[in-house]
């Protein structure tokens, strides 16, 4: 699609939304690919976005919300009246609807739930009750669960009744005993090939389940062990309460990784789109940048303290940013691993000393290797072995410091209620810069007669 065509679509969407032309909006949206629809949608103002969502039918609105980031979809829902929002949420899968309502305030979510049908509202309420990052918060309802006393014809009759609402058949159906606990699973292929009067139990195989409070780490281990597109979720009594799709788990990990990456880069809240109001975007970014400039001034004060040494050995100015940058890279690797393990629940604050020792063991090896490399480069470049020794020792020591900080600071920040993904970067950068500058310039000051 050419840029001119895209611009025409954007203008048409704006025009139809502004004029309240529902029929033209529906026709235009149906003609666009999902990616083009989303791109065009985000070119609209916040007011036009709300108008568009209100004008199109709930199913189309749900499709749009399904494709956009949850935070933005939740903000849009919040601008709608409760009845309109409820009609859209009912078109979403219950797990996605729960995710969006979970982003809203308690009052707004309650108002929307009250406008929904009792059955759908109860499903969403049950899912909202689970804390984020566990199987219960990621699961959806199990639509294909049958008593283990049922036969093939029961399944086929039920499937025919659901044909209008079925988007994709599961690979298997779950069987439950008289207490509602999973007793096995049957592949769809085996059911379709069996005689109508054959019992589902006779076709069943054992099935692995996940507890409703399973953490992301436990879910990752489960899906690594079992080649399955999904898993039955059970409560503390072993009763079937839902189904977790592998894709839902993978999406959750991906969203967490993206959010943490944005936080590390200074995007407060872990989410930003250019469709957001620019004062909000500017304020969020500035809150992080203003802290960073103060921390950088603090780090630069170390250089000011040793300005006489820098003046005497100008070559040191070349190696200061190298030592700082390489140490920062090592520290950021440690930060990334700690954030990942915190997300999965592998480490807790109590593990800080174990994490520190594991990072030190890596830092000693890498510090030695990097120190020798930069020492050799300094000697070949400047021709002074003592200068090489100074920058090599400084980089080696600072690498150990950087990984120690990078590995432990996220855990300590979590302990004190700060967001590790946002705060770890500035803390790491400031300390590694200060230590790196101090080590290079301090060692150079001690060895000054040998360097000039």
- Let me know whether 118 and 170 are in one domain: no
The CA-atom distances, in angstroms, between 25 and each of 2, 60, 77, 87, 91 are: 21, 10, 19, 19, 19
User: Last residue of a domain, which of 119, 138, 157?
Assistant: 138
- Output the pLDDT for position 414: 84
- Output the pLDDT for position 417: 79
User: Last residue of a domain, which of 138, 153, 170?
Assistant: 138
User: Last residue of a domain, which of 138, 166, 182?
Assistant: 138
In this structure, is residue 315 part of a structural domain?
Answer: yes
Q: What residues have CB less than 8 Å from 188, skipping those under 6 apart?
A: 169, 170, 171, 172, 173
Say if residues 163 and 155 touch (Cβ distance below 8 Å). no
C-alpha span between 285 and 204 (Å, rounded): 55
Structural domain boundaries enclosing 223: 145-254
Q: CATH number for the domain including 164?
A: 3.10.580.10
Q: CATH number for the domain including 121?
A: 1.25.60.10
Q: Which two tokens stand for residue 413?
A: 């920040």
Is the sign of the CA dihedral 308, 309, 313, 314 positive or negative? negative
- Let me know whether 216 and 329 are in one domain: no
- Output the pLDDT for position 168: 67
Backbone angles phi, psi at 338, to 5 degrees: -65, -40
In this structure, is residue 262 part of a structural domain?
Answer: no
- Output the pLDDT for position 275: 57
- Output the pLDDT for position 293: 79
In this structure, is residue 21 part of a structural domain?
Answer: yes
Q: Which of 213, 206, 133 is nearest to 174 (CA)?
A: 206
Burial class (CB in 10 A: 0-12, 13-18, 19+), 362: middle
C-alpha span between 64 and 438 (Å, rounded): 54
Residues in the chain: 452
- Let me know whether 24 and 165 are in one domain: no
- Output the pLDDT for position 126: 81
Q: Which residue has the tokens 């659901």?
A: 162
- Let me know whether 338 and 373 are in one domain: yes
Q: What is the DSSP string of 95-122?
A: HHHHHHHHHS-HHHHHHHHHHS-HHHHH
In this structure, is residue 132 part of a structural domain?
Answer: yes
Q: What share of the chain is helix, strand, coil (3-state, %, to 5)?
A: 70, 5, 20
The CA-atom distances, in angstroms, between 389 and each of 10, 305, 379, 386, 430 are: 62, 22, 9, 5, 24
How many distinct structural domains can be found in the chain?
A: 3
- Let me know whether 97 and 196 are in one domain: no
- Output the pLDDT for position 259: 67
Q: How many CA atoms lie within 13 A of 167 on its CB side?
A: 3
Helices (H) and strands (E) in the chain, counts: 23, 6
Q: What residues have CB less than 8 Å from 60, skipping those under 6 apart?
A: 26, 29
- Let me know whether 115 and 231 are in one domain: no
- Output the pLDDT for position 392: 94
Q: What is the DSSP string of 157-179?
A: HHHHHTTTT-SS--SEEEEE-TT
Q: What is the DSSP string of 180-192?
A: S-EEEEEEHHHHH
- Output the pLDDT for position 362: 92
Say if residues 430 and 298 touch (Cβ distance below 8 Å). yes
Backbone angles phi, psi at 213, to 5 degrees: -100, 20
Q: Which of 426, 238, 406 is nearest to 334 (CA)?
A: 406
In this structure, is residue 191 part of a structural domain?
Answer: yes
Q: What residues have CB less than 8 Å from 336, skipping those under 6 apart?
A: 264
pTM of the model: 0.61
- Output the pLDDT for position 289: 67
- Let me know whether 123 and 202 are in one domain: no
In this structure, is residue 270 part of a structural domain?
Answer: no
Q: What is the pLDDT along the chain (452 residues), one digit of tens a residue?
A: 566 666 766 777 777 777 777 788 778 777 777 777 777 777 777 788 888 888 888 888 888 888 777 777 888 888 888 888 899 888 888 888 888 888 888 888 888 888 888 888 888 888 888 887 888 888 887 778 899 889 889 888 888 887 766 666 778 889 999 899 999 999 888 988 888 889 888 998 888 999 999 988 889 889 888 878 888 999 999 999 988 888 888 888 877 777 666 666 656 555 555 556 657 666 666 666 677 777 778 877 888 888 888 888 888 888 888 898 898 889 888 988 888 888 777 788 888 899 999 999 999 999 999 999 999 998 898 888 999 999 999 999 999 999 999 899 889 888 887 777 777 777 888 888 889 999 999 999 998 888 87
> CA angle 147-150-153, nearest 5°?
140
- Let me know whether 117 and 234 are in one domain: no
- Output the pLDDT for position 397: 94
């Amino acid at each position: 699609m050419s840029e001119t065509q895209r611009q025409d679509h954007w203008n048409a969407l704006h025009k139809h939304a502004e004029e309240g032309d529902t029929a033209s909006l529906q026709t235009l949206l149906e003609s666009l690919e999902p990616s083009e629809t989303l791109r065009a949608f985000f070119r609209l103002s916040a007011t036009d976005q709300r108008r568009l969502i209100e004008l199109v039918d709930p199913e189309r609105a749900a499709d749009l919300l399904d494709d956009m980031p949850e935070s933005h979809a939740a903000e849009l829902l919040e601008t709608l009246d409760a009845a309109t929002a409820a009609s859209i949420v009912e078109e979403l899968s219950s797990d996605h609807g729960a995710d969006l309502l979970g982003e809203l305030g308690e009052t707004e979510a309650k108002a929307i739930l009250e406008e929904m049908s009792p059955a759908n509202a109860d499903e969403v309420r049950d899912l909202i009750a689970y804390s984020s990052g566990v199987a219960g918060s990621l699961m959806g309802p199990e639509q294909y669960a049958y008593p283990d006393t049922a036969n093939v014809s029961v399944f086929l009759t039920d499937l025919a009744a659901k044909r209008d609402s079925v988007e994709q058949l599961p690979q298997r159906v779950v069987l439950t005993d008289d207490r509602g606990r999973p007793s096995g699973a049957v592949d769809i292929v085996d059911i379709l090939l069996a005689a109508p009067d054959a019992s589902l139990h006779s076709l069943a195989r054992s099935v692995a389940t996940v507890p409703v409070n399973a953490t992301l780490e436990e879910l990752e281990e489960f899906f690594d062990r079992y080649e399955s597109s999904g898993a039955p979720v059970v409560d503390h009594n072993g009763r079937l309460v839902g189904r977790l799709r592998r894709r839902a788990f993978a999406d959750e990990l991906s969203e967490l990784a993206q959010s943490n990456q944005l936080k590390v880069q200074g995007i407060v809240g872990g989410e930003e789109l250019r469709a957001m109001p620019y004062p909000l975007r500017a304020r969020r970014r500035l809150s992080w940048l203003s802290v960073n400039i103060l921390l950088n001034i603090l780090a630069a004060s170390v250089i000011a303290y040793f300005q006489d040494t820098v003046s005497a050995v100008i070559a040191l100015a070349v190696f200061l940013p190298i030592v700082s940058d390489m140490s920062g890279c090592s520290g950021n690797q440690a930060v990334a691993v700690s954030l990942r393990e915190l997300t999965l629940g592998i480490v807790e604050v109590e593990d800080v000393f174990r994490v520190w020792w594991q990072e030190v063991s890596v830092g000693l090896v890498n510090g030695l290797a990097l120190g020798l490399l930069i020492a050799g480069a300094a000697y070949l470049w400047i021709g002074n072995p003592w200068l090489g020794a100074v920058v090599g020792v400084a980089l080696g020591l600072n690498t150990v410091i950087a990984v120690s900080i990078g590995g432990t600071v996220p855990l300590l920040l979590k302990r004190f209620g700060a967001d590790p993904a946002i705060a770890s970067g500035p803390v790491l950068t400031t300390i590694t810069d200060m230590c790196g500058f101090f080590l290079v310039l301090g060692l150079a000051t001690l060895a000054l007669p040998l360097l000039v």
